[in-house]
Amino acid sequence: MKGKCLCGEVRFSIDDQYSHIYQCHCSLCRQVSGSSSNSSLIVAQEHFHWLCGVSLISSFVKSTGYRSDFCSRCGCPAPNSMKNGNDIWVPVGLLYEHKPLKVVAHLCTESKAQWDTISEHGAQFKSMPELRDLYHVLDDK
Ligand SMILES: [Zn+2]
Ligand SMILES: [Zn+2]
- Please identify every residue whose CB atom is under 5 Å from ligand 1, which is an ion: 5, 7, 9, 71, 73-74, 76
| Strand-by-strand arrangement of the 95-97 sheet | 48-52, 11-14, 2-4, 95-97
The CB density around residue 57, as the number of other CB atoms within 10 Å, is 19
Residue 9, in any domain of the structure: yes
- 104-122: pLDDT as tens digits: 999 999 999 999 999 888 9
Residue 136, in any domain of the structure: no
Give the total number of structural domains in the chain.
1
77 CA → ligand 1 middle, Å: 9
- 14-54: pLDDT as tens digits: 999 999 999 999 999 999 999 999 999 999 999 999 999 99
pTM equals 0.94
- Which CATH number is 108's domain given? 2.170.150.70
* Structural domain boundaries enclosing 21: 2-131
Starting from the CA of residue 29, give the closest ligand.
Answer: 2
Task: Report how far residue 139's alpha carbon sits from residue 136's, in angstroms, rounded to the nearest whole number.
Answer: 5
Residue 19, in any domain of the structure: yes
